[in-house]
Homo-oligomer: A and B are copies of this chain.
Amino acid sequence: MLGILGGMGPAATVDFMNKIMSETVARDDQEHVPMIVASLPQIPDRSAAILGNGPDPLPHMIRGIILLETAGATMIAIPCNTAHYWYPEMERFARVRLLNLVHACSEELHRTYPKGARLGVLATRATYHTELYRRGLVDFEVEYPAEYDQELLMVGIASTKSGEISKARSCIGRVAFRLLDKGCDAVVMACTEIPLALSKPSSRDPQRFFDPTAALARKCVHLWNARDGAVGQ
């Protein structure tokens, strides 16, 4: 059974479940991937903790992982980029395979783009701070938005969380297109709230928007289909 540690945010968790389903070839209910999902929106804000002005979410996330294992999860995915700052510490506690969103993203980008390609990364301020994507995408030239665009991006991400999607789309879209106009080959939507706002019909150039959450969903479905004793119950 696939475990999902979610609620960071809750809409991104539902979006991730949708991606798992749309990546699954199924003729009826019974062919879909079984999942146990802990959507725990009360986990303290990851960005605030990384930037030094909020409580530590790590104990909450570890409790979530143990809850999922106890409920029968045989592998666990976490559809939140910023949370992956704590990936090594979470992995230390996990008894089952803990999938890594940044690795799943990096694997697919390596299959899609040549080394040295210029990739714009849209993420929370905290994710930039952790250098998660710069370290995960060492073979590429990684570009971040300018400081004033970073501000706009954070407004867009917060707007997604509070359900103001058109405001979110306008803020995030402007930042994304400025990175493409500056010569980036693609933009990586490295915060799970971003693809919720930049849904395909609204984006000028959808094939240049890469969604790490979709890469993680494909990885989950692939592992489920190729399951052995370790993940196959």
Contacts and interface: CB of A to CB of B under 8 A. Distances in A.
Contacts of A32: 7, 9-10, 39, 41
A39 B17 contact: yes
B34 A41 contact: yes
A162 interface: yes
A90 interface: no
Nearest to A67: B71
Interface stretch (A23-31, A169-177, A214-222): A23-31
A126 to B, nearest CB: 14
Contacts of A71: 36, 38, 67, 70-71
Contacts of A41: 29-34
A32 B27 CA distance: 33
A37 B37 contact: yes
Given A26-B163, A28-B158, A36-B37, 19 more contacts: A8-B29, A10-B21, A10-B32, A10-B33, A10-B35, A11-B21, A13-B17, A14-B14, A14-B18, A26-B161, A26-B162, A30-B45, A33-B41, A34-B39, A34-B40, A34-B42, A36-B38, A36-B67, A67-B72
27 contacts: A7-B34, A7-B35, A8-B29, A9-B32, A10-B21, A10-B35, A11-B21, A13-B17, A14-B14, A14-B18, A17-B39, A22-B163, A26-B161, A29-B161, A30-B42, A30-B44, A30-B45, A33-B41, A34-B39, A35-B37, A35-B39, A36-B36, A37-B39, A38-B71, A67-B71, A67-B72, A70-B70
Enumerate the 5 nearest inter-chain pairs by beta-carbon distance, A residue then B residue, closest first: A32-B41, A37-B37, A29-B41, A35-B39, A9-B29
